[in-house]
């Protein structure tokens, strides 16, 4: 991380949260026959995004949650707020800590008549090292499991696009913190990037969430490029930044006085932040492979776009594919 990148990240948050008014999502096309999945839909940004989608008249909203009773309560609240029919929202189980759960969910989703959008909102922020499927938990949930879900659903998303004429969108929330991500664990080494990130003795957990968002940008850019050139069909994948929002994501830091002051002075409401995510679901093909901020394409950090970043992107993505192949043999052929 360079000082210039860090300053750009800070500037991005200040400009976004103090001087930018985000548009309220508006219906740009007929959504009554669309099917959209939102993971982590019972709370925070996922919940607010689900309210917007229901209000816009999405025909089938699938709220993918880890705890079904909590999902059911959230569903009832949304239906009461939007007045949509009961049949317009379903609650399905998914645990992003569990590859088997993701596989089961993807297999079920692949049987849907159509799939028009996926908001892969579920994610974690923690500075404590812990394991999930033998990987550091932030790395696994925010990156490995998210792209496992993407590649498992990709054949269905392409099939749906060919049948309906509507290109499916796959949206992964990002953060301006990627400008401040520590880069030491990505430098060339005799060890793989993933193995270094899984080293409990050397892991930089204070910077792990920003780094996970940087890795998401690398993978989104690489997937967009490779998927487009494969000739198998279209799917738009993008990664919008809702900026600093009031949500449960940073609950570990919420006890500190400094965080509470910053949240009071700077944070967007959860509803405001969710507008950016819904925009990603409705945005056009120009957003494929892109980092978005304030509902428009924005150039990410220099350690993404520069020569060093482009090489790290390819190295990491190859490692990610190798990991995903171990989880689901043959999955890379979906690209």
Q: Is the pLDDT of residue 1 over 60?
A: no
Q: Find the mean pLDDT for residues 241-269.
A: 68
Counted domains in the chain: 1
**Where does the pLDDT of residue 4 fall: very low under 50, low under 70, confident under 90, or very high at 90 and above?**
low
Give the pLDDT score at 255: 56
Give the pLDDT score at 228: 83
Could you list the beta-strand ranges (E) of 146-207.
169-171
* 57 occurs within a structural domain: yes
- The answer to which of 29-33, 128-132, 239-243, 250-254 has the lowest mean pLDDT is 250-254
* 334 occurs within a structural domain: no
Give the pLDDT score at 256: 63
**Where does the pLDDT of residue 26 fall: very low under 50, low under 70, confident under 90, or very high at 90 and above?**
confident
Q: Find the mean pLDDT for residues 66-74.
A: 98
**Where does the pLDDT of residue 149 fall: very low under 50, low under 70, confident under 90, or very high at 90 and above?**
very high
- The answer to which of 16-25, 237-246, 313-322 has the lowest mean pLDDT is 16-25
Whether 209 is a known active-site residue: answer yes
* 262 occurs within a structural domain: yes
* 333 occurs within a structural domain: no
**Where does the pLDDT of residue 154 fall: very low under 50, low under 70, confident under 90, or very high at 90 and above?**
very high
Catalytically annotated residue among 60, 156, 179, 209:
209
Mean pLDDT score of the chain, rounded to an integer? 91
Q: Is the pLDDT of residue 143 over 70?
A: yes
**Where does the pLDDT of residue 249 fall: very low under 50, low under 70, confident under 90, or very high at 90 and above?**
low
* 209 occurs within a structural domain: yes
Q: Could you say which DSSP state residue 118 is in?
A: E
As a whole number of angstroms, the distance between CA 271 and CA 246 comes to 9
Q: How far is CA 75 from CA 38, 90, 217, in A?
A: 12, 8, 31
CATH number at residue 268: 3.40.50.720
As a whole number of angstroms, the distance between CA 26 and CA 279 comes to 9
Give the pLDDT score at 153: 98
* 256 occurs within a structural domain: yes
Whether 150 is a known active-site residue: answer no
Give the pLDDT score at 229: 79
Per residue in 96-114, pLDDT (tens digit) is 999 999 999 999 999 999 9
Give the pLDDT score at 233: 81
Q: Find the mean pLDDT for residues 314-325.
A: 98
Per residue in 172-191, pLDDT (tens digit) is 999 999 999 999 999 989 89
The tokens describing 4, both together, are: 């210039």
Tokens 């008014």, residue? 21
State how far Cα 282 lies from the chain centre.
Answer: 15
Q: Is the pLDDT of residue 40 over 90?
A: yes
* 74 occurs within a structural domain: yes
* 107 occurs within a structural domain: yes
For the chain, what percentages of helix, strand and coil (3-state, to nearest 5) are there?
A: 55, 10, 35
Count how many residues are written for the chain: 335
As a whole number of angstroms, the distance between CA 10 and CA 5 comes to 9
Per the structure, the complete domain to which residue 139 belongs is given by 3-21+29-326
Catalytically annotated residue among 60, 137, 213, 246:
213
Provide the CB-side half-sphere exposure for 190 (13 A, CA). Answer: 0
């Amino acid at each position: 991380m360079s000082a210039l990148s860090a300053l750009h990240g800070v500037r991005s948050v200040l400009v976004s949260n103090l001087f930018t008014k985000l548009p309220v999502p508006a219906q740009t096309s007929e959504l009554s026959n669309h099917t959209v999945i939102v993971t982590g839909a019972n709370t925070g940004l996922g919940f607010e995004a689900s309210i917007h989608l229901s209000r816009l008249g999405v025909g089938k909203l699938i709220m993918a949650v880890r705890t079904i009773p909590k999902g059911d309560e959230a569903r009832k609240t949304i239906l009461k707020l939007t007045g949509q029919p009961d049949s317009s929202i379903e609650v399905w189980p998914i645990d992003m800590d569990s590859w088997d759960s993701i596989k089961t969910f993807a297999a079920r989703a692949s049987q849907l008549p159509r799939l028009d959008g996926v908001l892969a909102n579920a994610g974690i922020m923690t500075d404590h090292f812990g394991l999930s499927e033998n990987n550091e938990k932030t790395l696994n949930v925010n990156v490995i499991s998210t792209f496992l879900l993407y590649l498992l659903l990709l054949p269905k998303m392409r099939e749906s696009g060919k049948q309906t004429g509507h290109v499916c969108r796959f949206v992964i929330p990002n953060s301006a913190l990627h400008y401040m991500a520590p880069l030491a664990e990505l430098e060339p080494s005799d060890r793989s990037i993933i193995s270094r990130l899984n080293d409990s003795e050397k892991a930089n957990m204070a910077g792990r969430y920003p780094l996970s968002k940087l890795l998401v940008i690398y993978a989104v850019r690489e997937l967009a490029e490779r998927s487009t050139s494969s000739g198998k069909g279209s799917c738009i994948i993008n990664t919008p930044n809702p900026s600093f929002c009031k949500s449960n994501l940073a609950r570990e830091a919420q006890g500190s006085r400094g965080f509470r002051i910053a949240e009071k002075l700077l944070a967007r409401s959860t509803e405001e932040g969710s507008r950016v995510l819904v925009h990603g679901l409705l945005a056009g093909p120009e957003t494929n492979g892109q980092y978005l901020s304030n509902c428009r394409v924005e150039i990410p950090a220099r350690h993404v776009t520069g020569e060093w970043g482009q090489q790290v992107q390819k190295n990491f993505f190859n490692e990610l594919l190798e990991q995903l192949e171990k989880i689901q043999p043959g999955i890379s052929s979906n690209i």
